[in-house]
Amino acid sequence: MTSLATGPHGFKRSLPKRDALQSNPVLAQFLKEVLVSGKSEDKVESNEALRLCYKRGWLQAEMLAEGRKAYVFPSKLHERYEFSNDYFSRNMLRLSCRYAEILLNNSAPEFPLHEFPSVRDLCFSAVRRFSRTFLSSSGPSLSAGAEERPVEAQYRHEFARACYLALSYNLHLTAEWKSPLSNSQVDFQIKSVKWAIKCVREGDRLEDHISRFQPGGRYYPMIECGEIQDYILLDFRTSKPRRARGMVSFSPGLTNADQLDDVPFLYFIVYSEDYAAYEIYDAKLNLVVDKVALLE
């Protein structure tokens, strides 16, 4: 089958190439910001990088509901694009991989483990950088191809943006990562340190997501083989859970066989009603981060 990148229709001409990004750091930085923000509302007359992206078809113009113009990736193929070329030494990337994200990830420096020694440290730092304005805005936001992003995906989008800020404007996250060992995908992976991050909203199917990291779960083969070495499950909420979460274990010899095990990788991010502040609780509902105000 003919690759879209090398086919007769020349689709690859509307995709940024590695040499173009390497020779123009300002352009690469601008595309990173569009990737994590979902759009740019700059003007082509005053932003040379935007003008170049628009001229070459890397971004397209869309009108927002408020009458403002925004520039977004033209289609899902530009974020999630299956192709094979000399940029990568491995086989064709799966459709679930994001083209621009992967290409820009390659230019990221070494992950700053001295600053974030665990996935929890990174996530807690990122949550501090969430935008109150973004979280409190009603309705879905814009994504590639001018498609509306569902409300449940907005926490994931904001998490990616906040990680970009926490990691000194570098892209280390791979979104919607799927291992060859499993048909299930995690929301984010950081390949260099083998971390996996899963985000849920308002406890949606929380027990199922917990079980995926446990023996017999969908993600467990990746943990067993070392493909995932640290992981976290974040439940973004607007009310504190009413009960602790855990896995039921059965201990021989105990009169009461049901015992609730700890789930050390689960944290509840609980926002106030107006998203002005948040607290973080662990799976046993112990307060681990006292009230923090969101300033943006």
Say how far apart CA 106 and CA 114 lie, in whole Å. 21
From residue 35, how far is each of 19, 82, 200, 249 by CA, in Å? 19, 18, 21, 43
Tokens describing residue 162? 């906040």
* Range 111-123 average pLDDT: 97
- Residue 100 has a pLDDT of 54
Q: Which residue has the higher pLDDT, 40 or 258?
A: 40
* Mean pLDDT, rounded, of the chain: 77
Q: Which residue has the higher pLDDT, 158 or 147?
A: 158
Say how far apart CA 227 and CA 150 lie, in whole Å. 30
pLDDT at residue 20 above 70? yes
Q: Which residue has the higher pLDDT, 143 or 186?
A: 186
**Sequence-ordered list of residues with C-beta below 8 angstroms from that of 86, at least 6 positions apart, any chain:** none
Calculate what percentage of the chain has a pLDDT beyond 70. 72
pLDDT digits (tens, 9 = 90+) for 211-260: 999 999 999 999 999 999 999 999 999 999 998 886 555 445 444 434 45
- Residue 231 has a pLDDT of 97
pLDDT at residue 191 above 70? yes
Nearest-5° Cα angle at 241, 239 to 246: 155
Say how far apart CA 232 and CA 237 lie, in whole Å. 16
- Residue 171 has a pLDDT of 82
Contact assessment for residue 201 and residue 152, using Cβ atoms and an 8 Å cutoff: yes
Would you list the domain boundaries of the chain? 11-105, 119-141+150-293
- Residue 75 has a pLDDT of 56
Judged on CB neighbours under 10 Å (0-12, 13-18, 19+), 43 is exposed
pLDDT at residue 265 above 80? yes
φ, ψ at 258 (rounded to 5°)? -80, 120
Place of tokens 């949606």: 204
pLDDT at residue 148 above 70? no
pLDDT at residue 159 above 70? yes
pLDDT digits (tens, 9 = 90+) for 118-136: 999 999 999 999 999 888 8
- Residue 102 has a pLDDT of 53
- Residue 90 has a pLDDT of 31
Confidence of residue 278 (pLDDT cuts 50, 70, 90): very high
